[in-house]
Structure 1
């Protein structure tokens, strides 16, 4: 579904953020990307939808079209309308919830459908019954349907992240990439949000790729771990095969500072 071939990213200041990345991620995988800050985790994720443009190599994404035929997108070659069409099929979730506090939970969730509306409906904020059903179904799936008409600004951090996740589901994406989605949450809420990601991954057969600092959460919920160190992949395998030695290879002399439970 997603294929990296000899991908490099060099920033204008000469920093080599990604070094010869070769990687393939299949549909339905739950991938946790771990490593130190500055290792290249966020850069890697943001190349998937060309938020970061790569310096060399190719990134290919294969998605099913409306005719059930596979369509191939060479991400680094896309521009304009074709790039926008691909981005509409990729859900993005960040550490900041990006909710509008003065709007209801339902309205925040429906905002994911705006790009699919005719201009007249966009201008006046009209949503069809179908759009509302899609949004309400996403809220129900994440157990916050009872908050549909509550202002987002009145919700807890965990509930806000659930709204962001519901909005992403309402977009009806083919895959979700999340950059540190639980780093601002306490351990209990972080576990709950990661469980939400897992449910979506399993129940919707959605590919989920998460950049995460909490190693114990990555090992608990992701089925595949990609470890990055200094822009290179130093581990790619099952979460059940991650050992203390694997983590030492990823984190180096910072290993002792890694939060671990039963690893």
Structure 2
């Protein structure tokens, strides 16, 4: 069990959404399991397995996907360090997706049964978990628009720009030139494109100085340029700072209402 808030996966993530007090930190720390290491290509869980916990991603990259009847797959989300993995499946007894590790990872388990304790003991944490699921929903809605209404160039540029913005939210040390451990196959499965189409688009982006690619990695050389190609607007990723004003002021506001 984790006992240091500086090392806790979930505490760091929760604090990115709003201020929490020592009582809420202690509650989270008492319920979170310590980090476990997972190797590249390891399956975190398979679709149809019992849904008994979610995870916070401390290090590494993982992705959620669904296998299709024709043997192909649809990548539904790519999780970066600081993300919560599996929270969407809270209401289901069985897993509705599979999850695979893209790069050696450290994840902290958080049993779903512990959420009931959080909901009953902390109004602030309950509100933050609601905001996390709302943000996840907004990301999925934007992904639908990306899949259905944008060109291949716009799809790829938009997806890479989104990952960049999400990394900047969860990692304070992110540099302007980002190296993403994403193969062209993973990106094709995420964007509903063929690997050949993704390769052709990357060739265009390399010639334009937007990215470089090497050994299943993508380096973003010109994020602003990618945003311009995609017409990217980060409104759906905007900060929630200010929605919560701290436990004491929140209580005062509710009393006033």
TM-score, normalized by the shorter chain, greater than 0.5: no
TM-score by length of 2: 0.28
TM-score by length of 1: 0.28
Greater RCO (CA < 8 Å, at least 6 residues apart):
1
Name the structure where helix makes up a greater proportion of residues: 2
